[in-house]
Chain A
Amino acid sequence: MEQRLGQERPGDGPGLWVLLCYRVPREPSAPRIAIWRKLKRLGVAQLGDGLVGLPADARTREQLEWVAEDVTEAGGSAGVWLARPATLAQERELAVAMAAARTAEYAAVTAQAATAREAGAATRAAALRRLRSELRRITRRDYFPPAGREQAHAAVEALAGPPAPRRDAVPARRDAVAGGGAGEHS
């Protein structure tokens, strides 16, 4: 969970973070909501009112710079800062909050995959495609991977395998199931 910070970390102290402090006018609401959506997609840590942050690297810095531009274009004010938490405990607090947010997202994917597993082949295939890209997006903003990540990946990939056995069904012969499955995918 500390890997992403390794490069920017002097000794064992806290790592470098990129912060965006911003203020967007309440009205019109459309640009304000668009900015909020972008920040949510980036998985930022909320440090305070109008202050968000991400572990600093070339990519996160660029991303927050673009959001800062959006804020300015929306008639607000924004600044991008590089900063270090004063204590490891403070950094850990941020990491824990970010990991908790991702945990909830992974759990939602795991639940959806479990539901889809019971469905027909077409629904399963569609869910597999959708949830794989959903997982890719969550993983992109997952700076401190929580435990639920592996489980979500396993649940989604299980959709590529044979369907979950129905409790009321007579077990099918293994070769018959494999034959049907191969035909569908070709």
Chain B
Amino acid sequence: MRWATRAGVHIDRAACAWLIRRFIDPHAEFTFVTDPAAIPAGATAFDIRGADLSHHGPDCSFETILRRYELTDPVLWRIAQVVHEADLDDQQYDAPEAPGFDVALRGLSMVCADERVLELTGPLFDGLYEYCKRATLLGREPA
């Protein structure tokens, strides 16, 4: 399936792409556009103005996708808090990791093309998922 999002990938779009590939569509192909009018026919748009899979009320796009696809995994919702705070920084959640992710993603987008940012952040979010999973099971920070 084809997916389209705004070019200049940052935390929310990188996390959404990872989420889509891992939990919704393993064969996802991503297109990056600068104008919503350039979204290819048949592609599902996310994190771009006018798309349903975008910011809604207090939610960032990652949270919207979790809701629309009824993903209830508490580990994903913990990651959603990190993404939300890194993207919006509105203090809705306690996510001390967020400023670090924000800087890392902003820096990456300065030196890499969007496709490369997704390649590099895939393992990063895999690791975050594993870390949050172990933390949830242990009830404390894993080693």
Contact = CB atoms under 8 A, between A and B. Distances in A.
A66 B55 contact: yes
Mostly, the B contact residues are loop
A34 B6 contact: no
Contacts of B90: 41
Chain B: number of interface residues, binned into ranges: 10 to 19
A69 B50 CA distance: 8
Nearest to B48: A65
Interface in A36-74: 41, 58, 62, 65-66, 68-70, 73
A57 to B, nearest CB: 10
Interface residues of A, number: 14
Given A34-B57, A66-B54, A66-B55, 17 more contacts: A34-B58, A41-B90, A58-B8, A62-B6, A66-B49, A68-B49, A69-B49, A69-B54, A69-B56, A70-B55, A70-B57, A73-B56, A73-B57, A136-B89, A136-B99, A137-B89, A140-B89
Interface of A: 34, 41, 58, 62, 65-66, 68-70, 73, 133, 136-137, 140
Interface of B: 6, 8, 49-50, 54-58, 89-91, 99
